[in-house]
Amino acid sequence: MRAVEDLIDFATEQNIHPLEFVKAAYKPDIDTKILDATTLLAAKEEAVKPDKNQDKPKPVNPLDIYYQINDYIKSKEKKTCKDMPRIYANMRDHLKEFEQFRKKPITFSCLDLTFYEEFVDFLTYDYVHKRRKTQIVGLKVNTVGKTIKQFRTFLRNRMRKRIIPPIDMEGWTILEEEVDAIYFSEEEIRKITDVDLSNFPELIDDRNDTVLGCLTGLRFSDFSKLDVYDLRDDMLHKKQQKSEHWVVIPLRPEALTILQERFNKGIVTSDNGEFNKNIKLITKLAGICDLVKHSHKKLNKNVVEVKPKYAWATSHTCRRSFCTNEFLAGTPVELIMKISGHKSVKDFYKYIRISPEEAGRKIKEIWKLREQLIVSSSNTKVATA
């Protein structure tokens, strides 16, 4: 016992941790009267040796909710478009932020209607946006709805695999509001096609891809990944990344020329972020500058924003332009859906964008066509009489 006390005193004098030093230096036959620098160095080295068990990974809890989300994301990486894992990673990050906010761990056993209501309230009123110069609090209604939809999809997958017991998600409503969005008219597409980019040659490829998207109805994830084997008999045969459905798209001469140039020159398309930045500048240079007012719900308030039309443009504007223009031109909805890949007529009508003025003009055209048919039918009857 006296030896231990001597070791503690010696360690205290040398300003090292007494307990670690005793554990490293003590031996039954140690002579504490001859403690010297050699003993001290050897004990110090022994004391700082890493614990053999320290580097061993902690056992994984297979029912940890984040472990399961990461496993779900990993399972989707090779089966879906490259954006899908990122979308579910955002959902996971929203969940982690809520866990910190509520100061309680989120487990599968705590998922009920109360959890849903508190999670929606957090996303709507308390979530703080990341990487913003000014603090922005709260998500848009549709963003909240998408987060809940993705979370439900994940949970159902885990239940179907019998990894977790059934969870009652009755009442987990997916919030949704009709969004304001623009489309390019046929005249505006011509302006984009003809815009002089001699001072901005770096925008030419993205301008061509903008026109290609407007004339084919493909998503950016599809029209940016086309290759020469997708082109057969002046038609595109493409398996859509998002839905994994095959579509066959007839090509206008302008679209065919763009594709042939891309394949012949080996042009590499921009990524989605770069394209969304460039399409705004391209449409601005094309003179598509009318002010457009959009509104959305946030924090239970109606938020109104007014911007030039080019400022609202994104890669998705191209696909919406194709669907809307074909509808206005009188192409049967069923045929447009065969090209766009929409699964239901309801989803299609939610997707297209027609102003009240355009709707009025379209009805007038139908009336005029109906009158012509009536007159033609009457004249035929008179002639045969």
Cα separations in angstroms, 73 against 67, 106, 144, 217: 10, 18, 19, 28
pLDDT at 270: 86
Query: What count of other Cβ atoms lies within 10 Å of the Cβ of residue 333?
Result: 16
Query: What count of other Cβ atoms lies within 10 Å of the Cβ of residue 381?
Result: 9
pTM (predicted TM-score): 0.66
Rounded distance between C-alpha atoms, residue 247 and residue 228, angstroms? 16
Rounded distance between C-alpha atoms, residue 273 and residue 314, angstroms? 9
Rounded distance between C-alpha atoms, residue 1 and residue 74, angstroms? 57
Rounded distance between C-alpha atoms, residue 17 and residue 19, angstroms? 6
CA dihedral sign of residues 77, 79, 82, 85: negative
pLDDT at 72: 93
Rounded distance between C-alpha atoms, residue 249 and residue 338, angstroms? 9
Question: In which order are the strands placed within the sheet that holds 231-232?
Answer: 231-232, 235-239, 246-250
Query: Could you give the count of Cα atoms lying within 13 Å of 347 in the half-sphere of its Cβ?
Result: 8
Query: Residue ranges of the domains in the chain?
Result: 1-47, 65-161, 186-354, 360-384
Rounded distance between C-alpha atoms, residue 174 and residue 76, angstroms? 22
pLDDT at 282: 97
Rounded distance between C-alpha atoms, residue 232 and residue 325, angstroms? 25
Per-residue confidence of the chain (385 residues) as pLDDT tens digits? 566 566 666 666 655 566 666 666 656 666 555 555 445 444 544 544 555 555 566 677 888 999 999 999 998 877 666 667 888 999 999 999 999 999 999 999 999 999 999 999 999 999 998 877 778 888 988 899 999 999 999 999 999 999 999 999 999 999 888 777 889 999 999 999 999 999 999 999 999 999 999 999 998 888 888 889 999 988 999 888 877 788 899 999 999 999 999 998 888 888 888 999 999 999 999 999 999 888 777 767 788 889 999 999 999 999 999 999 999 888 998 999 988 888 888 888 877 877 666 777 777 877 888 888 776 766 665 556 5
Domain at 186-354, CATH homologous superfamily: Intergrase catalytic core (1.10.443.10)
Residue 137 gets which letter from DSSP? Answer: B
Q: 241: helix, coil or strand?
A: coil
Q: Which residues lie across from 250 on neighbouring strands?
A: 235
pLDDT at 41: 46
Burial of 358 (C-beta count, 10 Å sphere; 0-12/13-18/19+): middle
Residue partners of 251: CB distance under 8 A and separation at least 6: 215, 216, 234, 235, 236, 259
Which residues in 114-132 are b (16+ Cβ under 10 Å) and which e?
A: eebeebbebbbeebeeeee
Q: Which residue carries 């403690």 as its tokens? A: 35
